[in-house]
């Protein structure tokens, strides 16, 4: 049974990195005047009220988006991301945080297509209600890892897949690698973006090795830490592994990640990694 609800975590430091990278990849695909598709295998509810009981329980957004809100010294990529979140708040008080489906839908064009999956009945209901009038979007109350395979290769031959599991089951780490291998075999030129949490470093090193062993050629990891690695202290960092990353992504992240690590890191203990997993390293792992 699924118990994860993203409303508790919306707008936290992990969402900042995830949605910053997602928005960059979508903007990159928009540079060509040809439609593309977006597949969100773990879409969530799509929109979160930051004054809800759930969001207020641990106020995770306070150490994420709220720290960026209303600052006038943001690096360019971060500024665009904050402006995007501003569109859901009429630029005033920070009351709403958009999930990945809303971010993608707001950036995509009228001929682009979105396919959104969520397995949780309540999250799916919220998601479906939110987007049902948008003719570009199809929603599926189904397993995004297995069911979305049938969409590949997309008829547009251009596309982005976001894989953002809650990792409630330790098997998820193995499943995401298996799924990425299958997806890549069907559609090798797609952009694939995999989110991961750093709760136990060894697990992430195993994930990196498994992806390196997959033979997928072009793959870069972007990680933002708010505290040093630890055992038993929850999520201290999170990352995005991007297959076929836009060529502009690493340079934007080289500016954004150290800046975010400084601002969002607890007591100066933030950090970042940018590692090319399938080619020569862009920056050495710490
Ligand atoms: N991508 C969303 C965002 O950035 O706003 C957040 C998604 S949340 C981290 C993970 C979601 O995946 C949850 O809503 C959960 O119900 C859903 N989920 C878990 N396993 C799934 C599966 N196999 N297929 C589809 N959805 C799943």
Retrieve residue 137's tokens: 């979007």
Distance from C-alpha of 128 to C-alpha of 205, rounded to nearest angstrom: 36
ipTM, two decimals, is 0.99
Atom of ligand 1 nearest to the CA of 44: 14
Q: How, if at all, do strands 137-140 and 113-117 pair?
A: parallel
Q: Mean of the per-residue pLDDT values for the chain?
A: 95
Query: Each residue's pLDDT tens digit in the chain (286 positions)?
Result: 678 899 999 999 999 999 999 999 999 999 999 999 999 999 999 999 999 999 999 999 999 999 999 899 999 999 999 999 999 998 689 999 999 999 999 999 999 999 999 999 999 999 999 999 999 999 999 999 999 999 999 999 999 999 999 998 889 999 999 999 999 999 999 999 999 999 999 999 999 999 999 999 999 999 999 999 998 779 999 999 999 999 999 999 999 999 999 999 988 899 999 999 997 444 434 4
Q: Please identify which residue in the block is written with the tokens 């720290």.
A: 67
**Among this protein's residues, is 164 annotated catalytic?**
yes
Task: Return the closest-CA partner of residue 101 out of 77, 134, 75, 143.
Answer: 134
CB 227 within 8 A of CB 236: yes
Q: How, if at all, do strands 191-198 and 113-117 pair?
A: unpaired
Q: How, if at all, do strands 237-243 and 219-225 pair?
A: antiparallel
**What is the CA(153)–ligand 1 centre distance, in A?**
22
Distance from C-alpha of 216 to C-alpha of 238, rounded to nearest angstrom: 22
Instruction: Dump pLDDT digits (tens) for 69-125.
Output: 989 999 999 999 999 999 999 868 999 999 999 999 999 999 999 999 999 999 999
CB 244 within 8 A of CB 183: no
DSSP symbol at 91: T
Question: For ligand 1, is residue 39 a contact (CB within 6 Å)?
Answer: no
Question: For ligand 1, is residue 166 a contact (CB within 6 Å)?
Answer: yes
Instruction: Out of 119, 140, 142, 148, give the residue to mutate to test ligand 1, the one with the largest number of ligand atoms within 8 Å of its CB.
Output: 119
CB 73 within 8 A of CB 263: no
pLDDT of residue 225: 98
pLDDT of residue 282: 42
Question: For ligand 1, is residue 165 a contact (CB within 6 Å)?
Answer: yes
pLDDT of residue 1: 66
Atom of ligand 1 nearest to the CA of 6: 8
Distance from C-alpha of 21 to C-alpha of 114, rounded to nearest angstrom: 17
Contacts of 98 (CB under 8 A, 6+ apart): 19, 46, 47, 48, 84, 85, 88, 106
pLDDT of residue 70: 86
**What is the CA(281)–ligand 1 centre distance, in A?**
31
pLDDT of residue 286: 43
CB 85 within 8 A of CB 97: yes
**What is the CA(162)–ligand 1 centre distance, in A?**
10
Question: For ligand 1, is residue 164 a contact (CB within 6 Å)?
Answer: yes
- Domains present along the chain, CATH in parentheses: 6-276 (3.40.50.150)
Q: Please identify which residue in the block is written with the tokens 């008080």.
A: 93
Catalytic residue among 15, 112, 118, 164: 164
């Amino acid at each position: 049974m699924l118990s994860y609800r993203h409303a508790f975590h919306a707008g936290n430091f992990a969402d900042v990195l995830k949605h910053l990278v997602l928005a960059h990849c979508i903007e990159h695909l928009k540079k060509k005047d040809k439609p593309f598709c977006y597949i969100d295998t773990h879409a969530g509810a799509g929109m979160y009220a930051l004054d809800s009981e759930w969001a207020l329980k641990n106020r995770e957004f306070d150490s994420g988006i709220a720290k960026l809100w209303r600052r006038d010294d943001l690096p360019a990529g971060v500024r665009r991301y904050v402006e995007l979140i501003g569109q859901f708040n009429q630029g005033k008080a920070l009351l709403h945080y958009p999930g990945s489906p809303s971010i993608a839908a707001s950036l995509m064009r009228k001929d682009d297509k979105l396919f959104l999956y969520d397995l949780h009945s309540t999250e799916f209901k919220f998601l479906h209600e939110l987007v049902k009038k948008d003719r570009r979007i199809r929603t599926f109350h189904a397993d995004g890892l297995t069911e979305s395979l049938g969409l590949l290769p997309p008829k547009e031959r251009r596309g982005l897949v976001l894989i953002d599991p809650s990792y409630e089951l330790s098997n998820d780490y193995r499943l995401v690698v298996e799924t990425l291998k299958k997806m890549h075999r069907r559609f090798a030129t797609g952009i694939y973006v995999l989110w991961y949490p750093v709760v136990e470093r060894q697990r992430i090193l195993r994930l990196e090795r498994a992806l390196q062993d997959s033979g997928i050629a072009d793959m870069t990891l972007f990680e933002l830490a708010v505290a040093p690695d630890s055992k038993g202290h929850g999520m201290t960092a999170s990352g995005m592994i991007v297959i076929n990353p836009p060529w502009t992504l690493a340079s934007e992240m080289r500016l954004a990640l150290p800046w975010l690590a400084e601002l969002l890191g607890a007591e100066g203990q933030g950090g970042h990694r940018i590692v090319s997993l399938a080619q020569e390293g862009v920056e050495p792992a710490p």
